[in-house]
């Protein structure tokens, strides 16, 4: 039996959104200060929708899986819908994460929001 649920394993083994986007509308990156792991999202917006989203994730398996799963959840959504994705949404989509590893998963949501907020020049 694997350490992680099948859905999480799939995103670890076969990430569908890894890479970069040359003509991204917004880019944001940030890290988890407790371990130094980093995540960068590239997002291309078309007509108010997230047309394409890619990531470069350099971190633990949970953070890489969360980055890929959140990209899957956000792609095709409007900017406003994607901005409403929460820490609890990614944790529940991953089938639950132990208390000590929550920051590994929620980094994805924080970087996504940072990127999308740049569209509005919000801090
Ligand atoms: Fe660094 Fe998980 S240990 S993000």
Average model confidence (pLDDT) across the chain: 93
- Write the residue with the smallest CA distance to atom 4 of ligand 1: 104
Extents of the domains making up the chain: 6-120
Indicate if the pLDDT at residue 100 is higher than 60. Answer: yes
Q: State the closest ligand 1 atom to the C-alpha of 37, by its place in the atom list counted from 1.
A: 1
Give distance in angstroms: CA of 32 to centre of ligand 1.
Answer: 7
Find the 19 Cα to ligand 1 centroid distance in Å.
Answer: 19
Q: Which atom of ligand 1 is nearest to the CA of 103?
A: 4
- In the prediction, which pLDDT does 4 show? 78
7: pLDDT strictly greater than 90: no
Q: Give the mean pLDDT of 90-105.
A: 93
DSSP 76: T
Spacing, Cα 101 to ligand 1 middle (Å): 7
Q: How far is CA 70 from CA 60, 97, 107, in A?
A: 15, 15, 10
Judge if the beta carbon of residue 30 lies within 6 A of ligand 1: no
- Atom 3 in ligand 1: residue holding the nearest Cα: 60
Structure tokens at 33: 């200060």
Q: Which residues of 41-71 are buried (b: 16+ CB within 10 A; e: fewer)?
A: bbbbbeeeebebbbbebebbbbbbbbbbbbb
3-state helix vs strand vs coil in the chain, percent to 5: 45, 25, 30
Name 25's Cβ contacts closer than 8 Å, sequence gap at least 6.
Answer: 43, 44, 45, 119
Using the mean position of ligand 1's atoms as its centre, give its distance from the Cα of residue 60 in Å: 5
107 vs 1 pLDDT, higher one = 107
Q: Assess contact for 94 and 52: CB atoms under 8 A.
A: no
The CATH number corresponding to 6-120 among 1.10.730.10, 3.30.70.980, 3.40.50.300, 3.90.1010.10 equals 3.90.1010.10
pTM over 0.85: yes
């Amino acid at each position: 039996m694997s350490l992680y649920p099948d859905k999480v394993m799939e995103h670890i083994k076969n990430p569908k959104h890894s890479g970069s986007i040359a003509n991204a509308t917004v880019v944001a990156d940030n890290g988890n200060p407790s371990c130094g792991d980093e995540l960068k999202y590239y997002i291309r917006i078309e007509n108010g929708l997230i047309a394409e989203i890619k990531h470069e994730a350099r971190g633990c398996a949970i953070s890489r899986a969360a980055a890929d799963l959140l990209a899957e959840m956000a792609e095709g959504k409007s900017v406003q819908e994607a901005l409403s994705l929460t820490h609890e949404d990614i944790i529940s989509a991953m089938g639950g994460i132990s208390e000590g590893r929550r920051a590994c998963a929620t980094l994805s949501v924080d970087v996504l929001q940072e990127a999308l907020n740049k569209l509005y020049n919000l801090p």
